[in-house]
Amino acid sequence: MTIADATLIPSADRRWLTPSRTIGLGLLALLAAFALIGPLLVSVDPTEQDFAASLAAPGSDYLLGADYYGRSMLARLTYGARLSFGMALLTVATAAVPGILLGLLAAWRGGLLERALELVSTVLLALPGLLLVLILLAFAPGTFGPLYLGLALTLWIEFYRVARATAASVLKQPHVEAARLLGFGTPYLLRSLVLPEIRPILTTLAAFAMSTAIIAISTLSAISVGLRPPTPELGAMIVELLPYYTEAPLHVLMPGILIFLLVLGLQLATRSEAR
């Protein structure tokens, strides 16, 4: 799916709760329950080691098995899902709020303010996002702060540009011009006329941004520049277990399947049905 899928279909012709969205929302609800309730139900510490259970298969003692250090896979997966979901949500919220507000401001005011914001976003866009994240991580490798800040600084530009372009288009429509001439205030126009029009594309963009953040966090952790073991991060878990693929292939696949389901749920939840 592309962002265009959400824009080329007129909103009036779309049914909100489509089959794909139902599946996506159901999948996300299950994963959210796994991430939020799982750590409360699994009393085992995800970093607790038991070498007697090294690479234990799924069974009664360890429901989803144990890794090389004898740590419970179920405990580590629940904490890993919560970490990935939480970090991605926080990163996207930090990028979306200023990006959307600045985009609306630029579209509304125009002029010098819009040109200045466009210049700033263009300069930051010229700097590869991955490079920006790696530069910040160089100051405090293996910690959450630089990883979160670098991803938020990269993602806000997309929210700004999409919000500015779509809001500028809506503001030119006759009914908005008429409301403005009738003396309706700026807060009313933005809240009642502009935001409802641009909300679908921003929701789709937020889902894309969350998918990007989840994959980026896992990828950077997998190459040892993001979060590091023993933190139960999904990407780091895959790399930790990779040398034991022949002995315990299911253990290696489980974190990858969880990442796949998280991203799939986000994509399906915001997918429009083409007609």
Residues near 114 by beta carbon (within 8 Å), at least 6 away in sequence: 106, 107, 164
Phi, psi (degrees; rounded to nearest 5) at 72: -65, 125
Q: For residue 275, which of 29, 47, 9 has the smallest C-alpha distance? A: 9
Q: For residue 146, which of 160, 159, 136, 131 has the smallest C-alpha distance? A: 136
Choice among 20-24, 179-183, 248-252 with the minimum mean pLDDT? 179-183
Cα separation, 117 vs 161, in Å, equals 10
Q: Which residue has the higher pLDDT, 135 or 243?
A: 243
The pLDDT of residue 8 is 40
Residue 116: pLDDT band with limits 50, 70, 90: very high
pTM for the model:
0.81
Paired residues of 66 in beta bridges: 72
Q: How far is CA 79 from the centre of its chain?
A: 17
Give me the DSSP letters along 39-87. HHH--S-TT---GGGTTPPSSSSSTT-B-TT--BHHHHHHHHHHHHHHH
Q: Which residue has the higher pLDDT, 229 or 172?
A: 172
- 8 Å CB contact between 78 and 39: yes
For residue 160, the tally of other CB atoms under 10 A from its CB is 26
- 8 Å CB contact between 179 and 193: yes
Q: Which residue is listed with tokens 């040109």? A: 115
Question: Is residue 140 predicted with pLDDT exceeding 70?
Answer: yes
pLDDT tens for each residue of 170-223: 988 888 888 888 888 888 888 888 888 898 899 989 999 999 999 988 888 888
The pLDDT of residue 12 is 47
Phi, psi (degrees; rounded to nearest 5) at 233: -100, 140
Q: For residue 161, which of 92, 91, 99 has the smallest C-alpha distance? A: 99
Question: Is residue 260 predicted with pLDDT exceeding 80?
Answer: yes
Question: Is residue 258 predicted with pLDDT exceeding 90?
Answer: yes
Residue 5: pLDDT band with limits 50, 70, 90: very low
Cα separation, 167 vs 103, in Å, equals 8
Paired residues of 45 in beta bridges: none
Q: For residue 146, which of 162, 132, 125, 166 has the smallest C-alpha distance? A: 132
